[in-house]
Amino acid sequence: MKGLLLKDLYMTVKYCRAYFFIAIVFALASVWGNSWFFLAYPIIMASVIPVNLISYDEKSKWSVYVGTFPYSKKEIVSVKYIITLIFLGLAILLSGITQTVHMLIQGTFDLEFLIVLLVLLPVVGVICPSFMLPAIFKYGVEKGRLVFYGVMIFLCALLAVLGAIGSVNDGLPGLFPSLQLWIVPLILGIGVVLLISSWLLSIRFYSTKEG
């Protein structure tokens, strides 16, 4: 599976460089603003990279060619999820750093808020691939994009609502005073279950797919 992972990393560097630039721009913008949109956008960008890689795989007929290698369908699917986790981790690190800088500049550094943020951002990040990847592995990229559009509309609406709440409560930290602490691990647990379920479902769909 190491070879599959390296292949996807090389493809990401070649075809998705613009994503990194855009993510950095939005992350830097979050340093001087209180918007959830700027903070979460790098996470969303990272979460759609695997979808683009699968699209390039289909166009190049890689899904047929890979059958000549000694890789199982489970490994072929799993590498997309591993790529997702790698880039989500980098995006979360970037957002965490920029949010820390933002709070230090504003003189509002709050460690508890930062920890909660770093717990919730991964959950936001796994929503998109958790719904898109099973659909794509079952129906292909073109039909799977319908799920992509639906998920993106949902996430944009969610970010808009959170952004409005943040503005009313004088910034992002204002979102959390009323948030019960027990809800945070619950949300994280839901995210983990969602990701694992998606992973297993994608393996099942791809394993029963012809070709």
Among 79, 61, 91, residue whose Cα is nearest residue 7: 79
Q: What is the pTM of this model?
A: 0.84
Judged against a pLDDT cut of 90, whether residue 151 lies above it is answered with no
DSSP label of 1 = -
Contact between 74 and 207 (Cβ < 8 Å)? yes
For residues 31-54, give the mean pLDDT.
81
Cα distances from 72 to residues 78, 153, 182, in angstroms, run: 10, 34, 40
Distance CA 66, CA 77 (A): 12
Cα distances from 58 to residues 72, 108, 141, in angstroms, run: 18, 48, 8
Six-digit token string for 185:
């691990």
Q: What is the 3-state secondary structure (H, E, C) of 15-30?
A: HCHHHHHHHHHHHHHH
Q: What percent of the chain has pLDDT over 70?
A: 84
For residues 68-72, give the mean pLDDT.
87
Tokens 């990279």 correspond to what residue? 49
DSSP label of 174 = G
Average pLDDT, the chain: 82
pLDDT digits (tens, 9 = 90+) for 113-146: 788 888 888 888 898 889 889 999 988 887 777 7
Contact between 177 and 59 (Cβ < 8 Å)? no
Distance CA 120, CA 159 (A): 13
DSSP label of 130 = H
Six-digit token string for 58:
């289909």
